[in-house]
Structure 1
Amino acid sequence: MGTVIMHNVVSVDGYIADQNDDVGSLHEWYFSGDTPISPHDDEQGYDHSATGTPFKVSRTSADYVRPMWASIGTIVMGRRLFDLVNGWEGQPPAGEHVVVVSHRPKPEGWHPGASYHFVDNAPAAIAIAQDLAGDRTIAVNAGNVGSQILAAGLVDEVAMDVAPVIFGSGKRFFDGIHEQQLLEDPHVVIQGDRVLHLRFRVRR
């Protein structure tokens, strides 16, 4: 089965957005470099589909981000993020499949051909995601749903793109974690421009 990675861009003080779901300057590094990247391309090119703006990162970040995006088979997300981005209009930014943790079903008539699956609990979401991904990576969005999956012992790694931003309050990367969780020492530490890429294996 593929590795389950809880991932997000995060502020230095541990937030993935403010209280209004605004990411502020967290994603500045995606657009301030000199190396074009696209989630659906292995070397060069832009992805204009989601934002209308090309992703351009530092060469160092590109060498890290490209293979990570390419490894993803399934994304697991919460309903709030799904609603905010309208499910990326049925075209996930990486991978071919999306599993949405929600007590509400898929909106009626919404992109019927898209491989989006709605389930009402986090463990079931991971089981479906693993079936869909095969041996590819399952990328779990951080926040409430990601924290539920981490607390259930179903996350293999935590990946953080730490941006030099302080929010002070907002939506936490680890939202709702009430017990100590142990991670191994970081096995990836890469300094890009305006971002620090970190990856930790979860200690079993």
Structure 2
Amino acid sequence: MGTTYLHAVASLDGYIADENDDVGPLHDWYFNGDHPLVDEDHPDIHGSPFRVSAASAEYVRGMWSRQKVLVIGRHQFDLTNGWEGHPPASEHVVVVSHRPRPEGWHPEAPYHFAGSVEEGIARAQELAGDGEIGVGAGDVGGQALALGLIDHVAIDVVPVVFGRGKPYFGPLAGGDLMLGDPEVVVQGDGVLHLRLPVRRG
């Protein structure tokens, strides 16, 4: 079974974007260093190539190299248009959506549509083998966490306070959830990378 982890960049008070889906300064650290993260084959899709600090590059490259599948919600798919079929990392993308794949949308792209969070994670497990599965934070990620389908929480904390917006954990149901002590703590430039295990039972 592939290891699942919830992931996103978040403000210090736990928001992944403001109420209008604007990330503000949350992604500034992706462009403040000298170390490239991804290939530059699709600059029209991903914008300027990610160039981060040495510490962030080592952390993110390792995470992306292990990630075989990315699970996202339909909202993120629509916002990015699925990165035109070329996600920054992973071999497959599973989109949790009640709507089917858009007709004629990049038929060759390794994107799979699932009608529920449970179905999406199960499909991701089939595709990932022993690789890791990244699950986008927000509504879908919060549901997966509440359902006990997440093994780790990976959060890139940026020292900014939003005050309101789209919460990292979405509308997490079920009350308090205690995580284990951080297994990874990496200080980048303008970002702190954390990875914590989810406690079972």
Pairwise same-fold verdict (TM > 0.5): yes
Q: Contact (CA 8 Å) 1:13, 1:166: kept in 2 or not? A: yes
Give the CA deviation at 1:93.
Answer: 1.2
- 1:89-168 paired onto structure 2 within 5 Å: 89-168=84-163
* Cα distance in structure 2, aligned partners of 1:46 and 1:191: 29
Q: How many percent of aligned residue pairs carry the same amino acid?
A: 59
1:174 maps to amino acid:
F
Among candidates 167, 188, 198, match of residue 202 of structure 1: 198
1:37 maps to amino acid:
L
How high is the TM-score relative to the length of structure 2? 0.96
- 1:3-14 paired onto structure 2 within 5 Å: 3-14=3-14
Give the CA deviation at 1:48.
Answer: 2.5
Among candidates 179, 190, 196, match of residue 186 of structure 2: 190
Q: Which deviations, in whole Å up to 9, do the C-alpha atoms of 1:94-145 show, x marking residues without a partner?
A: 1111111111111011111111111111011000001011111100000000
Distance 1:177 1:136, change over 3 A: same
Give the CA deviation at 1:46.
Answer: 8.0
Q: Contact (CA 8 Å) 2:46, 2:83: kept in 1 or not? A: no
How high is the TM-score relative to the length of structure 1? 0.94
1:104 maps to amino acid:
R
1:182 maps to amino acid:
M
Q: How many residues align?
A: 199
2:189 maps to amino acid:
D
Structure 1 segments (4+ residues) deviating >2 Å: 45-52
2:33 maps to amino acid:
G
Pairing 1:58–2:57 present: no
* Cα distance in structure 1, aligned partners of 2:55 and 2:49: 17
2:145 maps to amino acid:
L
Which blocks of at least 5 consecutive residues in structure 1 are unaligned?
A: none
